[in-house]
Structure 1
Amino acid sequence: MMTFLQHGFVLLALPKTASTTLEGALAPYASLVVSSPPGRKHLPARGFLHELAPQLEEQGFPRDSYELVTMFREPVEWLESWWRYRAREDARPGRSTAEMSFEAFASSYISGDDAAPTPRGRPARFISAGGLVAVDRVFAVDRPDVWGRWFSERVGSPLEFGRRNTSDSRPAELSADLRADLLEHFAPEYDVWRRLQDTGEWAGARGTRLQ
């Protein structure tokens, strides 16, 4: 998470959506950078509203004085990115997916298997609070032409975004039935994703109830 109050926005770091890349380019312009621990770096919208927003208001920055911004990834690709990430050699013991197929990983995620090395949250919940979208603007992570321009304009300087945290390239195979189950499971996420397809961003998202 990074705050850019002098530039009128706060960036929430949804996991597996280029947050390390963004931090590398944007950190010099930020008034606050929270890069660890993971629970603070990836503070969700509801946590931000309950914990940090009141502090910012006390400092003279009420909620409507800045945009709350985040990135978003195609939902199945987001889950696949977790699977690849946890196959790395430095994965925590018992949390590696090196010997686990994406089919098994996805199935465990849907079933909510606490013993599996799957993420505990979901993107739609990350951006929501009280059942409604709590961020103002969402960017599609695969549209750097859109978000790169927006961030550059906001900080008033051309930015270069390198690529980091690359993971393994195993084929992520899914059966037709499991893919259909994932599409159903991710209905709220695909509600967001559809809104990003035409322009690569969703402005005015706050207050929307997702499917």
Structure 2
Amino acid sequence: MMALPDYGFVLLALSKTASTSLERTLAPYASLVISSPPGMKHLGASGFERKIAPRLAESGHERGSYEVVTMFRDPVSWLESWWRYRARDGQEERRPDKSTAAVSFEDYARSYIAGDRRVPTPRGRPAKFITVDGLIGVDRILAVERPDVWQAYFSERLGRPLEFERRNVSTAPVRGELTDATRDALREHLAPECTVWERLAGSGEWAGARGTPLAVPGRA
């Protein structure tokens, strides 16, 4: 999470959406950077409103004076990115309990849908990350697959051209095949995320998202 209220925005770091690359470029301009522990680095909209927004208000930045922004990606691609990241070289030796090297993406996706904690699937979900009490709690959502859009947004905010490097990229082989039935089941499970993703289609961003109802199931 990075706060750049002097430039009119705060960036919430949804996992697996280029947050490491963004931090490397934007951190020098930020008045607040939280890069650890993971629970604070990837603080969602609800946590931001409780923990960080009051701190910014105390320093003269009321909530309405800046946008809260987050990146988003295709929901199936988001889950596949987690699976590939945990299958990266050396992970099985370092943390066998966290490795997916021996797990197919088909089985990984089914475990995620079922909430099976024996497989190291992510415990959260993007829709929960962006919501507060059933409403979207961020002002602007940017599609990570549209760098032309989000790079232009951040460059405009900072008033200078910015370059973003690809960081923290998985070295695991691409083998994320799903059967049609599992893909359909996964998209049904991630229906709130798919709703947001469909809203991003075309323009690559959703400005004014805050306050939109978004029903999010409680489990994973």
What's the TM-score, normalizing by structure 1?
A: 0.97
Deviations 1:37-82 (A, max 9, x none): 1111100110000111111112211111110000000000000000
CA shift at 1:115, angstroms? Answer: 2.1
Match of 2:137 among 134, 139, 144: 134
CA shift at 1:28, angstroms? Answer: 1.0
Residue matched to 1:179:
183
Residue matched to 1:33:
33
CA shift at 1:170, angstroms? Answer: 2.7
Q: Is the 8 A contact 2:56 2:62 kept in 1?
A: yes
Q: Does 1:85 align with 2:85?
A: yes
Distance 2:48 2:89 in 1: 32
Deviations 1:158-182 (A, max 9, x none): 1001111221123111111111101
Deviations 1:93-113 (A, max 9, x none): 301001110011101101111
Residue matched to 1:45:
45
Question: What is the identity, as a one-letter code, of the residue corresponding to 2:110?
Answer: S
Change (3 A) 1:5 1:179: same
Distance 1:149 1:111 in 2: 39
Number of aligned residue pairs: give it. 211
Provide the aligned C-alpha RMSD in A.
1.0
Question: What is the identity, as a one-letter code, of the residue corresponding to 1:163?
Answer: R
Q: Does 1:94 align with 2:97?
A: yes
What's the TM-score, normalizing by structure 2?
A: 0.93
Residue matched to 2:64:
64
Matches within 5 A, 1:104-115: 104-115=107-118
Q: Is the 8 A contact 2:131 2:214 kept in 1?
A: no
Distance 2:173 2:166 in 1: 15
Residue 178 of structure 1 aligns to a residue whose secondary structure is: helix
Once structures 1 and 2 are overlaid, which stretch shifts more, 55-64 or 135-144? Answer: 55-64
Residue matched to 2:160:
157
Residue identity (%): 64
Residue matched to 2:199:
195
Change (3 A) 1:123 1:89: same
Distance 2:65 2:174 in 1: 44
Distance 1:183 1:118 in 2: 16
Distance 2:206 2:18 in 1: 18
Match of 2:210 among 183, 188, 206: 206
Once structures 1 and 2 are overlaid, which stretch shifts more, 170-179 or 132-141? Answer: 170-179
Distance 1:39 1:210 in 2: 23
Tell me, which stretches of 5 or more residues in structure 1 are unaligned? none
Distance 1:82 1:46 in 2: 23
Once structures 1 and 2 are overlaid, which stretch shifts more, 131-140 or 113-122? Answer: 113-122
CA shift at 1:90, angstroms? Answer: 4.4
Distance 2:41 2:89 in 1: 22
Question: What is the identity, as a one-letter code, of the residue corresponding to 2:59?
Answer: Q
Question: What is the identity, as a one-letter code, of the residue corresponding to 1:109?
Answer: Y
